[in-house]
Amino acid sequence: MRRSRSSAYRRPGSGLTGRNRKIAIGLAVATLAGGAFAVSTGMSNAATNCSGLDQSLRDTLSFMAEQRANPNAQTNAVLANRQAVVDMINVQRQQAGCTANIAAPPAANPPANQPDTGSDQSGATGNAGAGSGNIDALVPALGFSPGDPNATADRVGPTGVNVPGRCPPTQAQVNAQVALKNANFPSGTDLESRIQRFEKTLSAIQDLKCPASSTTLLGRLNSLTALRANADRDNILRGLGLNETPAG
């Protein structure tokens, strides 16, 4: 007996039970939702990163505008340092894909009858702000020649171990990173101020993707921290320059 065509035909997918069909549909929806969440999360992270960089750039440009409106003996040094910070932030914004146009605010008029003290306060001790113009004098020297930014091979560092050929960064790059991260950078000649300067400089070098071993800073820092246990440390420090460390 020949079966009718209608009874022989089975619609594709009709083998799924009602319960299995619901499970399959649920999995498909979950997959689509998961993909959308991953995309939205990536976009959210990028937006957050750009928001922070944009704000840092905005704050730095505002600070520079204020300096121009109220110049003093240190203004040129301050502006040169902050321009290096602006350049570094812009590099980071470009790498993060930030596209907002951050413009410098209009310069404000200087206050009327502002007294001119004629004094240079760069010799003050304590914690001087990174924007005070003396950051270049406060950041310790790296102790090794800058690397080649285009290098792909390692080279022997100052401590005898291999370091990336692009390391260390230039002194100017390190100074700018220190200024970017530290609203207050220690300027004192006491032991703890000296130690903090070296520690913050090493942190800036690592932010720039270079190891401490690409400089001589770590060994010099160790010679300073060893003085904490030396009862004669004050006399030793009196004979040292701002960022000099004990011999040996």
Could you report the per-residue pLDDT of 6-32, keeping only the tens digit for each? 444 455 544 555 555 555 455 544 454
7 within some domain: no
9 within some domain: no
Q: What is the mean pLDDT of residues 149-171?
A: 95
Q: Which two tokens stand for residue 39?
A: 């995309």
The span from the CA of 153 to the CA of 204, in Å, is: 23
pLDDT band at 120 (very low <50, low <70, confident <90, very high): very low
Distance of CA 203 to the CA centre of its chain: 9
Q: Omega of the bond prior to 164 within 30 degrees of 0, cis?
A: no
Question: What pLDDT is attached to residue 155?
Answer: 96
> Domain residues for 206?
125-248
Quick one: 231 and 150 in the same domain?
A: yes
Distance, first Cα to last Cα, the chain: 106
Question: What pLDDT is attached to residue 248?
Answer: 56
Q: Is 63 helix (H, G, I), strand (E, B) or coil?
A: helix
The span from the CA of 215 to the CA of 202, in Å, is: 9
Quick one: 131 and 244 in the same domain?
A: yes
Who has greater pLDDT, 27 or 171?
171
Quick one: 85 and 168 in the same domain?
A: no
In the numeric block, the tokens 């499970």 are attached to 23
Quick one: 193 and 133 in the same domain?
A: yes
Distance of CA 189 to the CA centre of its chain: 26
Q: Are strands 184-186 and 162-164 parallel, antiparallel or unpaired?
A: unpaired
201 within some domain: yes
Of 114-118, 155-159, 187-191, which range is least confident? 114-118
12 within some domain: no
Distance of CA 72 to the CA centre of its chain: 28
Question: What pLDDT is attached to residue 18?
Answer: 57
| Residues above pLDDT 70, as percent of the chain | 68
183 within some domain: yes
pLDDT per position as a tens digit, 89-106: 888 888 888 988 887 776
Quick one: 143 and 247 in the same domain?
A: yes
In the numeric block, the tokens 């100074």 are attached to 175
**Does the pLDDT of residue 41 top 50, yes or no?**
no
* The last residue of a domain, from among 54, 72, 106: 106
Question: What pLDDT is attached to residue 239?
Answer: 85
The total of structural domains in the chain comes to: 2
pTM, two decimal places? 0.54
List C-alpha distances in Å: 206 to 45, 173, 202, 209: 23, 12, 6, 5
86 within some domain: yes
Candidate ranges 45-54, 74-83, 98-107, 208-217; pick with highest mean pLDDT: 208-217
Q: What is the mean pLDDT of residues 133-137?
A: 77
3 within some domain: no
Q: What is the mean pLDDT of residues 66-89?
A: 77
Question: Taking each helix axis from N to C terminus, what angle separates 75-96 and 18-69, rounded to the nearest 10 degrees?
Answer: 160
Q: Which two tokens stand for residue 81?
A: 């340092």
Quick one: 224 and 139 in the same domain?
A: yes
pLDDT per position as a tens digit, 185-243: 999 999 999 999 999 999 999 999 999 999 999 999 999 999 999 999 999 998 888 88
Q: Which residues of 125-151 are buried (b: 16+ CB within 10 A; e: fewer)?
A: eebbebbbbbbbebbbebebebbeeee
Handedness of CA 179, 183, 189, 195 (dihedral sign): negative
142 in Cβ contact with 216 (< 8 Å)? yes
